[in-house]
Structure 1
Amino acid sequence: MPQLDVDGATLTYDDEGPRDGVGAPLVFVHGWTADRHRWDHQLEHFSTGRRVIRLDLRGHGESGGAGSRTIEDLARDVLALLDHLEVDRCVLVGHSMGGMIAQTIALSHPGRVERLVLVNSIGRMTYSRGRGLLMAVSTLVPFKVFVAANIQRAFAPGYPREEIRAFVRASATTPREVVMTCYSAMRAFDVLDRAAEIRVPVLLVHGYHDVQLPVRQMLRLAKACPDATVRIIDAGHELPVEKPAELTAALDAFLTPKQ
């Protein structure tokens, strides 16, 4: 289990698959209160023929360190890891907050990104009345209640309740300071007006039932990107765990050269 010390954090990561495999390395970035194991299905599938890298963001999973005040801070962590692993150019895949990090890297270091995949992610945080109310009371309720309220609504109707409870418990182990600072970082995220600067092919994969970051918000980003492909899957906000095989198939199709 390799680790890298970066600016007060210890990042735990996986680096698997052949270095001389087909195509640029795949780099997977998870979302808020999650960890690198969100990408287990993709790691198993792609690492047989391609280099695959994934990490636990600072304060998440098995990585130490305090939370970040901005998405740009988290993007710098990912870039530091890529520098350490001598990865000059990659296919960057981000889920939710990880997609915000991926967009930030694509905009600040366009030469590092060959293709961009955004899973349940958007270019600008916009809040419904209910979401705004949840934000307003978030500091007034017990921490575990706040986490549970966010995680429970992330899954599509009908997803097994016991599995949802397991994800709630796992998310609640993320330190409060990390949870809240990253939450604030997402609230401040807005690159929608710069999306036209992303000149590489972009795949946007989204859950039809996503109420955290609704499909209509993703479509605003897709419309702004010059070279965007959209795939809607019958799932909620947690596509990597709700429909991992369908997500992998969408990635495979995006990465396979058209004949």
Structure 2
Amino acid sequence: MPKLEVDGAVLVYDDEGPRDAGDVPLVFLHGWTADRHRWDHQFAHFAGGRRVIRLDLRGHGESTGAGARTIDELARDVVALLDHLEVERFVPVGHSMGGMIAQTLALAHPERVGRMVLVDSISRMTYSWARGLLLAVSTLLPFKLFVAINIQRAFAPGFPKERVRAYINASAATPREVVMTCYGAMRAFDVLDWVDEVPGPTLIVHGYHDIQLPLSQMLRMANAYRDAVVRIVDAGHEVPVEKPAQLTALIDDFVTTPA
């Protein structure tokens, strides 16, 4: 299990697949309170034919380190890892907060990002007055209850309850400081006015039943991109684990279709 020390954190990562395939590596970026295993289905599929990289973001999963106060900080960790692995060009595949990191990378390093995949993510966190107040109040709840409420509502109705409980328990194992600082980083994230500068094609996959990051906000983002392909999936916010095979097929089709 390879590790890299970056700015006070130790990042655990996986780097698999052939180096001589000629394809640009895929870099999988997980979401808030999750870990690199959210991508198990996609990682296993693509590792057979191309280089694939995934990491536990700082403070998440098996990685250590304090929580990031901005999405930029998390993006810098990813750049440090890719520089260490001598990866110049790559395709970021980001879920939720990972999609925010992917967009940050594409805007900061357009010469390195040819195309991008965003799953259940947005470019600007927008709230009504009432929802903003509700979210602010929710941070005052006991920590485990705060996490449980947020993870529970991430899944579409009908997703197996025992699997939801397992994800809640895994998320609650993330240090409180990491959970809350990254939560603040997501709430402050806003690149909507700049995403039209992303030069390459972008695949946007979103769960129809996503109430964490609503479909309407995603469509507003998609409309701001120069070259976006949108696919709606019958799932909630956790498309990588709710509809893994469908997501893998969509990504496969996107990355193998000539630009």
Bucket of the pairwise TM-score, normalised by the shorter protein: over 0.9
Separation in 1 of the partners of 2:235 and 2:157?
Answer: 9
Give the distance between the partners of 2:157 and 2:120, measured in 1 at CA.
16
Give the Cα separation in 2 of the matches to 1:135 and 1:215.
Answer: 18
Amino acid at match of 1:203: L
Note the residue ranges of structure 2 that are not aligned, 5 or more in a row. none
Q: Helix, strand or coil for the counterpart of 1:206? A: strand
CA deviations on 1:65-122 (whole Å, 9 max, x unpaired) are: 0001100000000000000000000011000000000000100111111111000000
Cα pair 1:13 1:53 within 8 Å, conserved: yes
Tell me the secondary structure at the aligned position of residue 113 of structure 1: coil
Instruction: Pick closer, same or farther for the CA change 1:131–1:148 going to 2, 3 Å.
Output: farther
SS of 1:213's equivalent in the other structure is coil
* 2:115 is aligned with 1:123: no
* 1:122–1:213 Cα contact (<8 Å) kept: yes
In 2: Cα distance, 1:2 partner to 1:243 partner: 29
Question: 1:167 aligns to what?
Answer: 167
**CA distance in 2 between partners of 1:170 and 1:164 (Å):** 10
The corresponding residue for 2:62 is 62
Alpha-carbon deviation of 1:22?
4.1
Which deviates further from its counterpart, 132-141 or 91-100?
132-141
| Distance (Å, rounded) in 1 between the aligned partners of 2:223 and 2:142 | 39
Q: For residues 1-259 of structure 1, what are the structure 2 equivalents within 5 Å?
A: 1-128=1-128, 131-257=131-257
- The one-letter code sitting in structure 2 at the alignment partner of 1:144 is K
Structure 1 portions without partners, runs of 5+? none
Q: Letter of the aligned partner of 2:87 in structure 1?
A: V
* TM-score using structure 1 length: 0.98
Amino acid at match of 2:92: L
Report the residue type matching 1:236 in the other structure: G
TM superposition score normalised by structure 2: 0.98
Write the distance in 1 (CA, Å) between the matches of 2:22 and 2:161: 39
Greater Cα offset, 157-166 or 203-212: 157-166
RMSD: 1.2
Tell me by how many angstroms 1:6 deviates: 0.1
Q: CA–CA distance in 2 between the matches of 1:67 and 1:40?
A: 24
SS at match of 2:21: coil
1:205, CA displacement in angstroms? 0.3
Distance 2:70 2:256 in 1: 34
- In structure 2, what residue type is equivalent to 1:66? A
Q: Is the 8 A contact 1:69 1:181 kept in 2?
A: yes
Q: How many residues align?
A: 259
